[in-house]
């Protein structure tokens, strides 16, 4: 374990313990200043003078909200903040010192916060305008209820407090500005919220994840050995080389080992991420952030979604049941055992998923596949400038398209038992796809990623292409058959003899002919007239 990782875990654990003190602060102002002070201290410890980057970004967004119209502030903030994020990551190419890794994590979270807050301000302005113009009273009442629990009007110092609050400043989770404001009021704490019990209920799995990570990383390490760059060990700089970049895995090990090696490496990666995400959630829980009544159906990142239940409240003497779904960032069971990539992704980094869905996906007026591709592009850009992020995440839209095709063409037409068998097979393919993309996420550089993928024949990219072609072919055949059937129905002619046979014997029409399209009454009238004519003859 690296020294930076030890500092990170120490700060994260200390933040959990500090939550017990933070909850006892009575006034919202005290919580603002104490939370910001501790957050700035944590940022200085991991960043040093590089803290100027997140301070500068926050200050410029304060100016955007102060001096730009509300109809434009969210757009300007989005492009400016993402643009500065790029400069922040490549500033060492223009003579500045390269920023530490943990400063990058701080900058990533503050970028989401300030952009998300500008979107909240814009949405508040838009909904206030809609209420004034609406003539439908029911719709106006609905929007007014949304405004009651969503509207924000932050002052410049409030924005700074929100950005640098110690809760989530290192690794998240992301939470809306309105969720932060609700935490300052402390209503759940006044109603007897038990943060200790909720923390223990969430944190008990962390030792299991840590042990699983250490064990799997020992036997299947991603980083295999260290070497020295430079002229010699004294003058050179120590660096670590990943085993998947080492020539040994390509010369001493076969195709099937390289194909299998991705699975334990991805397992180690998941265990490390799970432990970090759960500890980050516990920081929020101990501070009382994200606690809402269960009846309000809180959603990760968003907060309550059932405003009617939240507005109704509870009767006197009734105990309020709270949960912390608003800051629930990882559903480990769902990420591991849901049968599809789409469902698995929804369980991973859920608060950031909400940010991407609300501020990117839903704002685009394009077709669903295009919106999914652009959303994954935004996610890759937010993660970093390495090509591995883009190679990994821009593979996802193609996998989702194939999954949707096969769900429509195959799964929906199967029985219950066959669907379970289909889901188990789909789960296996999903986990292999995740491991395959995870290698790009871990190797990062384009040459090492493509070299490793090439050594296993770009297997899962090829599988995506083959399955997509099969689905398109089947869809084409079915489409042609439906078109011919429709044309046959429109042009079919049924003679009187066939009508008589159908009405008397209830036999189906002969093969190649189509059922009668007239109404039942007209059929009976025609049959009656035919019988009378027959009797006359």
Catalytic hit among 61, 104, 329, 349: 349
Q: Which two tokens stand for residue 440?
A: 């790009």
Q: What is the CA radius of gyration of the chain?
A: 30
Q: Write out the E strands in 12-71.
A: none
Q: How far is residue 203's CA from residue 18's CA, in Å, rounded to a whole number? A: 16
Question: SS3 of 317, please?
Answer: coil
Residue 349 annotated among the catalytic residues of the structure: yes
**Phi, psi (degrees; rounded to nearest 5) at 254:** -90, 180
Q: How far is residue 93's CA from residue 81's CA, in Å, rounded to a whole number? A: 19
User: H-helix or E-strand containing 239?
Assistant: strand 237-242
Q: Which two tokens stand for residue 28?
A: 């919202």
Q: How far is residue 274's CA from residue 270's CA, in Å, rounded to a whole number? A: 6
Are 116 and 277 within 8 A, CB to CB? no
Give every CB contact of residue 36 below 8 A, 6+ residues apart in sequence: 160, 161, 164, 165, 166
DSSP-derived pairing of the beta strands 237-242 and 223-229: antiparallel
Catalytic hit among 383, 451, 461, 468: 383
Residue 451 annotated among the catalytic residues of the structure: no
Question: SS3 of 44, please?
Answer: helix
Terminal CA-to-CA distance of the chain, rounded, Å? Answer: 103
Burial 141-156 (b: 16+ CB within 10 A, else e): eebeeebebbbbebee
Are 222 and 245 within 8 A, CB to CB? no
Active-site residues, by number, are: 349, 383
């Amino acid at each position: 374990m690296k020294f930076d990782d030890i500092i990170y875990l120490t700060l994260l654990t200390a933040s959990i313990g500090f939550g017990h003190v933070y909850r006892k602060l009575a006034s919202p102002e005290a919580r603002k200043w104490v939370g910001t002070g501790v957050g700035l201290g944590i940022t200085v410890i991991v960043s040093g003078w590089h803290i100027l980057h997140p301070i500068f970004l926050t200050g410029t967004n304060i100016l955007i909200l102060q001096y730009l119209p509300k109809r434009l502030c969210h757009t300007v903030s989005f492009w400016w903040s993402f643009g500065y994020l790029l400069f922040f990551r490549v500033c060492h190419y223009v003579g500045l010192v390269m920023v530490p890794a943990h400063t990058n994590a701080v900058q990533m979270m503050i970028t989401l916060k300030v952009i998300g807050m500008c979107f909240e301000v814009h949405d508040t302005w838009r909904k206030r305008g809609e209420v004034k113009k609406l003539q439908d009273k029911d719709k106006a009442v609905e929007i007014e209820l949304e405004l009651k629990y969503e509207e924000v009007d932050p002052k410049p110092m409030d924005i700074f407090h929100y950005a640098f609050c110690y809760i989530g400043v290192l690794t998240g989770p992301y939470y809306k500005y309105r969720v932060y404001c609700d935490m300052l009021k402390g209503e759940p704490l006044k109603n007897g919220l038990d943060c200790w019990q909720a923390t223990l209920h969430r944190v008990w799995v962390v030792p299991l994840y840590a042990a699983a990570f250490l064990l799997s990383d020992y036997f299947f390490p991603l980083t295999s050995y260290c070497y020295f760059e430079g002229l010699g060990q004294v003058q050179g700089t120590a660096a670590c080389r990943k085993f998947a970049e080492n020539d040994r895995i390509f010369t001493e090990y076969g195709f099937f080992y390289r194909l299998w090696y991705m699975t334990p490496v991805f397992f180690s990666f998941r265990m490390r991420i799970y432990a970090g995400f759960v500890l980050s959630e516990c920081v929020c829980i101990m501070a009382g952030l994200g606690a809402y009544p269960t009846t309000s159906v809180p959603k990760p990142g968003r907060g309550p979604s059932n405003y009617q239940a939240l507005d109704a409240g509870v009767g006197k003497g009734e105990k309020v049941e709270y949960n912390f779904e608003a800051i629930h960032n990882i559903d480990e069971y769902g990420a591991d055992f849901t049968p599809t990539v789409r469902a698995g992704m929804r369980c991973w980094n859920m608060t950031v998923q909400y940010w991407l869905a609300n501020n990117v996906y839903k704002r685009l007026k394009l077709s669903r596949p295009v919106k999914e591709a652009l959303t994954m592009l935004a996610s890759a850009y937010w993660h970093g400038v390495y090509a591995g992020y883009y190679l990994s995440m821009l593979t996802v839209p193609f996998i989702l398209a194939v999954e949707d095709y096969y769900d429509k063409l195959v799964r929906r037409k199967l029985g219950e038992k066959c669907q379970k068998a289909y889901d188990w097979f789909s789960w296996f393919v999903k986990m292999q796809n995740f491991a395959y993309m995870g290698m790009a996420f871990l190797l990062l550089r384009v040459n090492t990623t493509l070299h490793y993928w090439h050594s296993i024949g770009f297997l899962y990219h090829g599988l995506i292409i083959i399955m997509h072609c099969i689905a398109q072919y089947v869809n084409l055949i079915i489409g042609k058959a439906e078109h011919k059937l429709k044309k046959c129905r429109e042009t079919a002619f049924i003679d009187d003899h066939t009508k008589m046979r159908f009405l008397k014997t209830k036999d189906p029409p002969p093969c190649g002919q189509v059922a009668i399209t007239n109404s039942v009454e007209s059929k009976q009238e025609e049959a009656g007239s035919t019988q009378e004519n027959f009797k006359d003859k």
